[in-house]
Amino acid sequence: MSVIINPILRGFNPDPSILRVGEDYYIATSTFEWWPGVQIHHSRDLINWELMGHVLTEKRLLDMTGNPNSGGVWAPCLSYNGGVFYLVYTDVKSLAGNFKDTHNYVITAENILGPWSDPVFLNSSGFDPSLFHDEDGHKWLVNMIWDHRKNRNSFHGIVIQEFSESEGKLIGDPEIIFRGSHLGFTEGPHIYKRNGWYYLMTAEGGTGYEHAVTMARSRYLKGPYELDPITPILTSWETDRKLQKAGHASLVETQTGEWYLAHLCSRPIPGERRSPLGRETGLQRCYWSEDEWLRVLVSEVYKEVFGTSGPSDYVLGPLLPVQSRTVIPELDHFNSEFLNVQYASLREPLDPTWISLRDRPGFLRLRGRESLNSLHRQSLIARRQQSLRCEVETCVEFDPASFQQLAGLIVYYNSKNYFYLRISRDEILGKCLNILSSANGQYDEVLEQDIVIEGWKSVYMKAQIVGSGLQFHYSKDGLHWSPIGSVLDAGRLSDEACSRFQDGYFTDWGFTGTFLGICVQDLTGQSKHADFDYFAYREDES
């Protein structure tokens, strides 16, 4: 008997769109402002998953320069029809306040790794688009409609419109087919067809702790849709489950006839309602009831206590051969010609004008550009934090000539929220260390007095995270370490802490998660570089 351990995709991996093609399973997840866009994980057993690459890897496919925090790529939907992969996705250009600029596109490829076609613009009426391929050959786009008007339901309903592939555009008039349940915040639509029924799966309740999965069905594509008498079919709301925020799901059938639901979830810090790991991806086993409704396979005890289906940490696996798990090395010496697939940059692709593995073999060279406040050109490379107990370490050579030149190790949520152990230069002290902090845009320097490191060629840096505690360390030789500063509040780098509500609407959104990385800034415009010898990421799940 095989067992699936949740979450299957740990760390910031929200809005999963699961797909089977033959014996291969793929999950596409949102990447927001992080580049490249849309992560693709692959599996053959639903237990062991590997990040095989990304879809939106060129500026012709995605240009996020200037996109806001938590903008960018929302809720990609992956489908397959007639030997072709289809991906629809939203590029969010603005989201604070009443208005949302949400541009939806579709691209295609014969291979999941590309090359992908040029984007075809679909609409901007709302977000979370998905493409349904009906048995008669027609293709239909569904997405939520955003209503900006005062005193209205912003989540106006789920709209459907035909997509003409030959004409490269939507045709006919859009029609609202579902207004949602009592839970509200109706989004994330997917349509499935089974035994003559059209099933409409949606995410409801908002993407926080009240998040949920709902289902409705109809004999006709455009409805009317009947809501499942058991609503929602999956939620964590008002439970003490380890997996919280369960919602935004998609469905897959194995080649052996088993059904699984991939869904968004999170693992808050124990005893807190803060999730620095962001929204992750879990998997639940399902079955169809005698009256042909989808049901999540959970214990009867859980149903008796909570009255609905909740996400399980351990799930019965499918009747498929278990594959070996790919082990990702903890230590990256930057000896490869290409950057590891785990790393991401902000808003724009890697370019030799600011990042290089060749200028100094065995080192990653970053050239300083704009500040951490920038929504345009940051020289920052990072990877997802995937455990509440972990540490990262690096060694950097950097010789700043000005206080406007900085480099070091960063624990980053977005341009307004981070902790940064940086090297810089002071006019009196010379080369020095300090920790920079930003909390919802409020800048601070943690140490009252910089630590002098004049004459040091290399600076070793480490960040240790245990739950909500973050402790930086530094060293001259990588053997003898000293803590720097006090224990900081890592829980502050979470969706919950980084969202702000003011005057009746959100001024800041938090939809991502904590990233751990390295960066360089040069506010003089001289592109001062720093050389990083290695980057290590270690976890402790004990």
Query: Buried b / exposed e across 47-85, counting CB within 10 Å, b at 16+?
Result: bebebbbbbbbeeebbebeebbbbbbbbbbbbbeeeeeb
Please indicate whether residue 427 is annotated as part of the active site: no
Please indicate whether residue 399 is annotated as part of the active site: no
> Which bin fits 303, alpha (ψ -120 to 50), beta or left (φ > 0)?
alpha
Residue the block writes with tokens 């409704």: 293
Q: Which whole-number Å values give the CA distances from 452 to 220, 293, 426, 476, 531, in the listed order?
A: 72, 66, 9, 12, 20
Residues 6+ apart with CB under 8 A from 330: 536, 537, 538
Alpha helices, H only, 96-147: none
CB–CB of 368/405 below 8 Å?
Answer: yes
Q: Which listed residue (45, 187, 495, 522) is catalytic?
A: 187
Residues 6+ apart with CB under 8 A from 503: none
Q: Which listed residue (15, 228, 258, 450) is catalytic?
A: 15
Nearest-angstrom CA–CA distance, 468 and 490: 5
Residues 6+ apart with CB under 8 A from 272: 468, 491
CB–CB of 9/25 below 8 Å?
Answer: no
Looking at the annotation, which residues are catalytic?
Answer: 15, 187
